[in-house]
Amino acid sequence: MEDNKLGLFSLIALVIGSMIGGGAFSLPADMANGASAGAIIIGWIITGIGMIALAFVYQNLSMKRPDLNGGIYSYAKAGFGDYIGFNSAWGYWLSALLGNVSYLVMMFGAIGYFCPIFGKGNNLVSVIAASIIIWLIQALILKGIKEAAIVNVITTIAKLVPIFIFIIAAIIVFKVNIFTLDFWGNSTPSLGSIMNQVKSTMLVTLWVFIGIEGAVVVSGRAKNRSDIGKATIIGLVGTLIIYVLITVLSLGIMNRVGISKLDTPSMAYVLESAVGKWGAIVINLGLIISLLGATLGWTLLAAEIPYIAAKDGVFPKIFTKENKHGSPANSLLITAILVEISLVLTLFSSGTYQILYSIASSAILIPYLFSALFGLKVEINDKNGKARGLNIIFASIASIYTAWLVYAAGVKYILLVTILYAIGIIPFVISKKEKGQDSKFGLLSYEKVIAMIFLVVGISAFVMLMTGKLAIG
């Protein structure tokens, strides 16, 4: 279905639109809360090196393994087997759909800036309005992936306008003496060492780059295979520049302590301090558009992963159904229902939602790690590949960086993730039984060992969670 394929511009918009959600608009305060200007710059340099290396891994894999159309899921499966592939798809899918709940709550919290009836985004009025958006997006994607991608391009451009206004205004009012004040945080002992400060910044950047894999996830829908890698690199570099400018320029408008105390979205209040009330209005409007676009982009990604995994036989086959426009109908429907349920939970228990989101947001790091490791494996085995030495370096850096991200998330979140993977054993076994592999419960010997570890640790983590020994927050 060639007319439903995505071009380079649509793929770039999907990458940028997936990465720039609500986090970009909160970067000034989030970064300033634990680090000085000097440490922030170091943190961005390290993050930039790690993420660019990962982007090059995706670019190389998109060209060397054109048979793999599911991106990070397919890479994990090809490199480490069905069960690891399933867990990458399972964790990514739940991360994406629960992330959309977060975007919707944040969106109506931002709308509440103009219309107080929406409160902080998790009252009854907000949930009803957000539910309407969920099903409108569902209807849009059902009409065709290309049509939804066009809307995503429009919202991506629209969200960038207020960000560029912020950057231009910040450059004009930037003051070097404010930026260099306590540059290394020496007068603020509570910040700790430079190393601790850098780590705090990287824990923030850990989340704002989620979405870098947008183009490779929908690689099977790209017009040209070469566009996948190009979109990933262009989208990442563009987003990285935007993030660095937002955080660095903010520190030349207000001092670090002042920024760290700002409410969300802190970018709005930084601009308000520089140009007046209209600055906050522009940024809040940009945040609303950004979150709407991110919700659309992540709905596309959330539906695509289980659809592709089901076609490979590692997700239940109910997810394979397409409609006449080539959209993954059942995958979209099941995803939308789970988003709706999670959204309703925010009305009754924000704590329940936080538990679910904390588990899922950490689980998305696992697919990144296995993508990088698979990239390294491919390069090592490709004895005659062009620029093999350089590609091995990129893949090694990406592997080390993504492993560090998993470590940086902390033991608490690793334990929480095992709960998610323990639950995932059920749909994995169902999918294998559907393929006639029920005699071994769908698991090879090494997969049984991994599944048993997930089950034991997952049950233990759940008990700890219920008894208060494992806390969220």
The pLDDT tens digits of the residues spanning 212-236 come to 887 787 777 888 888 988 898 999 9
Contact 150/351 with Cβ under 8 angstroms?
no
Residues 6+ apart with CB under 8 A from 460: 415
On the question of pLDDT at 424 being above 60, the answer is: yes
On the question of pLDDT at 3 being above 60, the answer is: no
Question: Hey, which residues does 6 pair with through a beta bridge?
Answer: 222
What pLDDT is attached to residue 5?
Answer: 79
On the question of pLDDT at 330 being above 70, the answer is: yes
Residue range 101-120: mean pLDDT, rounded:
88
What pLDDT is attached to residue 351?
Answer: 58
Residue range 151-156: mean pLDDT, rounded:
88
On the question of pLDDT at 358 being above 70, the answer is: no
Question: How far, in Å, CA of 26 to CA of 32, rounded?
Answer: 10
What pLDDT is attached to residue 138?
Answer: 92
What pLDDT is attached to residue 1?
Answer: 46
Q: How would residue 439 be classed by pLDDT, with cut points 50, 70 and 90?
A: very low
On the question of pLDDT at 461 being above 50, the answer is: yes
What pLDDT is attached to residue 6?
Answer: 85
Question: Which of residues 98 and 253 earns the better pLDDT score?
Answer: 253
DSSP character at residue 312: T
CATH number of 2-409: 1.20.1740.10
CA 294, 298, 304 angle in degrees (round to 5)? Answer: 155
Question: How far, in Å, CA of 86 to CA of 313, rounded?
Answer: 9
What's the burial of 176, exposed, middle or buried (CB within 10 Å: 0-12/13-18/19+)?
exposed
Residues 6+ apart with CB under 8 A from 168: none
Residue range 51-69: mean pLDDT, rounded:
88
Q: How would residue 312 be classed by pLDDT, with cut points 50, 70 and 90?
A: confident
Contact 154/131 with Cβ under 8 angstroms?
no
What pLDDT is attached to residue 105?
Answer: 86
Q: Which two tokens stand for residue 443?
A: 């698991």
What pLDDT is attached to residue 438?
Answer: 54
Contact 266/30 with Cβ under 8 angstroms?
yes
Closest residue by Cα to residue 307 from 290, 287, 326, 280: 326
Question: Hey, which residues does 464 pair with through a beta bridge?
Answer: none
Name the one residue in this structure whose structure tokens are 């036989």: 313
Residue range 13-34: mean pLDDT, rounded:
88
Residues 6+ apart with CB under 8 A from 166: 246, 267, 270, 271, 279, 282, 283
Q: How would residue 378 be classed by pLDDT, with cut points 50, 70 and 90?
A: very high
Reduced to 3 states, what is the DSSP secondary structure of residue 6? strand
**185-211: per-residue pLDDT in tens?**
988 888 999 998 988 887 788 778 888
Helices (H), 435-444: none
Q: Which two tokens stand for residue 370?
A: 């296995």
Q: How would residue 4 be classed by pLDDT, with cut points 50, 70 and 90?
A: low
Contact 372/107 with Cβ under 8 angstroms?
no
On the question of pLDDT at 160 being above 50, the answer is: yes
**Lowest mean per-residue pLDDT among 67-76, 190-199, 227-236, 259-268:** 67-76
**Lowest mean per-residue pLDDT among 351-355, 428-432, 461-465:** 351-355
- What is the model's pTM? 0.85
Please report, as a single letter, which amino acid is at residue 245: L
Rg (CA), the chain: 22
**Lowest mean per-residue pLDDT among 95-99, 223-227, 359-363:** 359-363
> Which range, 218-227, 265-274, 305-314, has the best average confidence (pLDDT)?
265-274
Percent of the chain clearing pLDDT 70 (strictly above): 94
Closest residue by Cα to residue 188 from 270, 258, 244: 258
On the question of pLDDT at 434 being above 60, the answer is: yes
On the question of pLDDT at 80 being above 50, the answer is: yes
What pLDDT is attached to residue 340?
Answer: 93
On the question of pLDDT at 23 being above 60, the answer is: yes
Inter-CA distances, 53 with 74, 336, 401, Å: 19, 34, 9
Question: Hey, which residues does 222 pair with through a beta bridge?
Answer: 6
Question: How far, in Å, CA of 70 to CA of 77, rounded?
Answer: 10
Other Cβ atoms closer than 10 A to 412? 17
Q: Which two tokens stand for residue 120?
A: 């902080």
Closest residue by Cα to residue 397 from 72, 53, 56: 53
**124-149: per-residue pLDDT in tens?**
999 999 999 999 999 999 988 888 88
Closest residue by Cα to residue 207 from 316, 397, 347, 368: 368
Q: Which two tokens stand for residue 43?
A: 């943190």
Closest residue by Cα to residue 218 from 136, 298, 139, 291: 298
Mean predicted lDDT score pLDDT of the chain:
87
